[in-house]
Amino acid sequence: MENLIQQLKEAGVGKVLKNEPLSKHTTIKIGGPADILIEPDSIESLKKVLKIVKENDAAWTTIGRGSNLLVSDQGIEGVVIKLGKGTDHLEEKGEEILVGGGYSLVKLSTIMSRKGMAGLEFASGIPGSVGGAVYMNAGAHGSDMSQILAKAHVLYDDGSIEWLAAEDMEFSYRTSILQKKPGICLEAVLHLKQGDRESITDIMQKNKDYRKETQPWNHPCCGSVFRNPLPNYAGELIESSGLKGKAVGGAQISEMHANFIVNTGDAKAQDVIDLIEIVKKTIKENYDIDMETEVEMLGR
C-alpha cells in the first residue's frame, strides 16, 4: 500500500490521502476510512490513477459528492477515487453544454436557470454530482437525466473510454447501464432549451421550497433510501406501517419524510442497515411488497 501511495504521489495526479475517513465525504456523515483517497486534478490525471492502480492490482471505487451513498463502518478497501475539483469543468455551446462529472448538479441547475436555459429545473434540490446523476438517472418532479442527456463520456474498469449516446445508456427508473457495466461518467453533454428566465426560476424556487418543506435536509442524510415500488410510494408505505420516527442507535427514520433516514449525531452504517432491514421486513409482511434500496452501499 505504501508503494502504491508513493507511486501516486510521484505521478502528481492530485490530492492523495491515506486512511481518510469517508464520513467527511458523504452527506449522511457516516463511513469508515478509505485505504487511499484520491481526488484527481484532471481527467488526464484520472486516467493515470487508473493505470497505476491496475498495474498494482489494487481494488478501486469511485464516489462523487457523497449523496445517495452509505459507506460501511469498516471503510473501503483499496483506492477510492473522488470526482470533484479537476472534473468540474463547464463549456456552453448554445443549447448544448459539456459538463464534468464532478460538477455540482445544484450549482449547474442554478447557473442554467439564470441564463434562461430550461431542462434542469427538476435538479434544483438534488445534492449530487453530474456524474452520479447520470449513473443513477437522478430525477424529481416528473423529469430525470434521461430527458436531457445527449451523450456521456465513460471510463471503464479496463481503462477504455467511449462516448455513449443517450439511447445506449439503457435508462430506466433510477437506473443506467453504468450500474450493470461499471464505468465512471467523466463528462456529460446535456441538451437544454432556451426558455423564459422568469418562469424557469419560478419553477426552480417552487421545487426548492417543496424539498425544504417535505424533506429533512437540516439533518445529515443520504437522500431517498428506497426506490418507489410504483404505483406505490416508499414513504407512504413506511409511514402507514407506523415506522416514521423509528430509531436504531443514532439513525432514525425521518419524522418529516419516511423515505429518509437521518443521522441524529452518532449513527453508524450498521444502524442504518438495521433500519433498512426493519422496513423491508415490515413492508413485506404488511403489503407483500419487496422494497429495493435506492441508496448505494459501499465498503467492507
Cα distance between residue 159 and residue 91, in whole Å: 25
- Residue in this structure with the C-alpha cell 478497501, named with its chain if needed: 77
Angle at the Cα of 136 from the Cα atoms of 274 and 72, rounded to 5 degrees: 30
Q: Exactly one of 20, 39, 121, 294 is catalytic; which is it?
A: 294
Q: Exactly one of 72, 124, 176, 224 is catalytic; which is it?
A: 224
**97 contacts 91 by C-beta, under 8 angstroms:** yes
294 included as an active-site residue: yes
Q: Exactly one of 121, 174, 176, 254 is catalytic; which is it?
A: 174
Assigned C-alpha cell, 204? 426552480
Cα distance between residue 294 and residue 239, in whole Å: 18
Neighbours of 66 (CB within 10 A): 24
Cα distance between residue 196 and residue 39, in whole Å: 38
Angle at the Cα of 286 from the Cα atoms of 281 and 291, rounded to 5 degrees: 50
- Residue in this structure with the C-alpha cell 459528492, named with its chain if needed: 65
Listed as own residue / partner, the contacts of 174-177 with beta carbons closer than 8 Å and 24 or more positions apart are 174/136, 174/137, 174/138, 174/139, 174/227, 174/294, 175/136, 175/137, 176/134, 176/135, 176/136, 176/137
Q: Is 165 exposed, middle or buried (0-12, 13-18, 19+ CB in 10 A)?
A: exposed
Query: Phi and psi at residue 56, in whole multiples of 5°?
Result: -95, 0
Q: Give the 3-state secondary structure percentages of the chain, helix then strand then coil, rounded to 5.
A: 35, 30, 40
Residues involved in catalysis: 174, 224, 294
